[in-house]
Chain A
Amino acid sequence: MIRKLVYGMDLLLGRDKPGRNLTIYEDDVFIASYSKSGNTWTRFMVANLIHPEEPVTFLNIDHVSPDPDLRTRNFLKKCARPRIMKSHHPFDARYRRVVYIVRDPRDVVLSQYHFQIKRGIIQTGHPIEEFVQRSVIGHVNEFGSWGQNVGSWLIARYNTPGFLLLRYEDLKERPEEGLAKIALLLGLKTDHEQLAKAVELSSADRMRKLENLQADKWASTKGTRKDLPFVRAAVAGGWKSGLPHEAVAQIEQAWGHIMRALGYETVTSAPRDAKPSLLDVMGLPQ
């Protein structure tokens, strides 16, 4: 009852964190992804592009691009429009403009594993096979499995207006090209120089330096282990050495059809679906 009263008071004063109850405006833009797919990096690039006057750090990123799961209703109401929001939620029909970042699930699972050790959810040395087993059924966080999260967005919105799909791997290879596409969705006029500067200010090296200085003050790293970084390898393909073959097979068995549709080549002999799935007939670029 006390807890209920406290939350009631928060609601009254607008100090509650709305999460899925977020009041959405038509011009909101969501930077959405499964967790550990390059969302923070993308937010840094976008924020640096929009606010060249003030370099983005872990201390101001949540102001420029807030997470409705972490910020209060009052705060979100006062944000400058159009708001650039962060989200890890699976398909939400109320989001009209979405930049969806997808990353090779083999790297995502590995990164999620390290992240959960950093946060003390699992211990160092936790058997990775067990973690992968829970990952493929979506029992490692509240955002559904990777396949459900990615699949629900793609099947509902791929190739529709207001939806921009970006692969983390492509962003790594050609960040300015990806950022230019985001700028287009946001209706921003940009030139090559501005894009290059935003990318430079959001480099993995710079983000690591900022993390060193600011980890104790950022909501997502405060109270987590400091011997393990939030900005980790920031590379594609780490799974090849970091995941046992059996774990790779499990992931490909669960999500092979989505992976192939997204151009992530599978390497184990997971059985392929006999008939094309719904995603295949949508003609995703290979």
Chain B
Amino acid sequence: MKYGIEVVLKYLLGVDVADRNLAVYPDDTFVVSYPRSGNTWTRFLIANLVFPSENVTFTNIERLIPDTSSQSNRALKRTPRPRIIKSHTYFDPRYRRVLYIVRDPRDLVLSYYDFQRKYRQIADSYPLADYVDDFVNGRLISAGWGTWGENVASWVYTRQNRSGFLLLRYEDMKSNTEQELKRIATFLGLETTPERLKQAIEASSPDRMREMERTQSDRWVATKKHRKDIPFVGPAISGRWQSGLAGALVSKIESTWGNLMSTLGYPVVTSEVGQTHSAH
């Protein structure tokens, strides 16, 4: 009954989190990824490009590109159309236009490890080896979004090379931001100039985002209730796993998702890769 009353009140007031109950419109565009894959950075890039008159910050990003899992149904209903919406969900056939960002799972796990300590979902002393084991076996807090492999494969396999789907690799976005942002702009049907692309990139740089996080983290839903000694904006680099992840842990990830990783252009370095599972 307590569950009932809380749910009903939230529902009647429209403050229930949208999530699976989001009413999807055909002209919605979704920025989708597994957590810690550069989604927030991409939202900043897009918001800076789409809303040049706004100074995009952590205090208005949820209004410009709302998050399905932190914003209410009412807030999403009030977002002007066509909406651009952030999501971490696995394949959802209702999403017609999707930008999907994928990141090397070996880097992602390190970033997620920091993030879950920030959120105090795991203790600082939690062994990284156990964490990697949880990661590949679907025991993380994100299990509701599937494992990394399930999430990525369910989107890539059903939608790749079809209209209404743009696959982006975080690593390409880091190494060639302007070119990738141009692809995003084309996908969104935006006219851009090299100057505008550069401005958007500059306004979304890791340094600028770190500076904003320092001053605004108490006002952003994703950071306000969490410890401040571990930042939300991480090192923002690719290849950190090469020094940060022991060989046995690299091997654990590669033996689970090796085929999928190779397909996405992440060469595996251990010799025994999974030949039977791709997305486990």
Contacts and interface: CB of A to CB of B under 8 A. Distances in A.
B278 A281 contact: yes
Given A8-B8, A93-B145, A278 B93 contact: no
A278 B145 CA distance: 21
Nearest to B92: A90
A5 interface: yes
A11 B8 contact: yes
B150 A157 contact: yes
Given A8-B11, A14-B4, A278-B278, A93 B150 contact: yes
A160 B277 CA distance: 7
B129 interface: no
A93 B147 contact: yes
A233 interface: no
Contacts of A12: 1, 4-5, 7-8
Interface string A239-277: 000000000000000000000000000000000000001
Interface stretch (B45-53, B56-64, B115-123, B151-159): B151-159
B75 interface: no
Interface in B126-183: 138, 143-147, 149-151, 153-154, 156-159
A96 to B, nearest CB: 9
A135 to B, nearest CB: 13
A148 B164 CA distance: 14
B215 interface: no
A156 interface: yes
B21 A282 contact: no
A14 B4 CA distance: 7
A222 B143 CA distance: 38
B260 interface: yes
A11 B6 CA distance: 10
Nearest to A141: B93
B276 A156 contact: no
Interface string B88-106: 0011111000000000000
Nearest to A9: B8
A93 B8 contact: no
Contacts of A160: 277, 280
A21 B12 contact: no
A38 interface: no
B78 interface: no
A90 B157 CA distance: 13
Contacts, number: 105
A246 to B, nearest CB: 21
A160 B278 CA distance: 10
A184 interface: no
B11 A156 contact: no
Nearest to B161: A273
A285 to B, nearest CB: 11
A163 to B, nearest CB: 10
A207 to B, nearest CB: 29
A282 B145 contact: no
Interface string B248-280: 000000000001100100000000000111111
B144 A94 contact: yes
Contact of A152 (B11, B147, B157): B157
Contacts of A279: 157
A11 B5 CA distance: 8
B4 A156 contact: no
Given A93-B144, A156-B150, A7 B11 contact: yes
B21 A21 contact: yes
Nearest to B4: A12
A240 B125 CA distance: 63
Interface string A162-203: 000000000000000000000000000000000000000000
A93 B146 contact: yes
A96 B12 CA distance: 32
B153 A278 contact: yes
A180 to B, nearest CB: 23
Contact of B157 (A5, A11, A92, A155): A155
Interface string A99-133: 00000000000000000000000000000000000
A54 interface: no
Nearest to A163: B280
Contact of B158 (A11, A148, A158): A148
7 contacts: A93-B145, A144-B158, A145-B93, A158-B277, A278-B157, A283-B275, A283-B276
Given A12-B4, A156-B149, 6 more contacts: A12-B8, A90-B92, A93-B147, A278-B260, A281-B278, A282-B259
Interface of B: 1, 4-5, 7-8, 11-12, 20-21, 90-94, 138, 143-147, 149-151, 153-154, 156-159, 259-260, 263, 275-280
Return the 6 tightest CB-CB contacts between A and B, nearest first: A144-B93, A93-B146, A155-B157, A156-B150, A155-B153, A148-B158
Interface of A: 4-5, 7-9, 11-14, 20-21, 90-94, 138, 142-145, 147-149, 151-152, 155-160, 277-279, 281-283
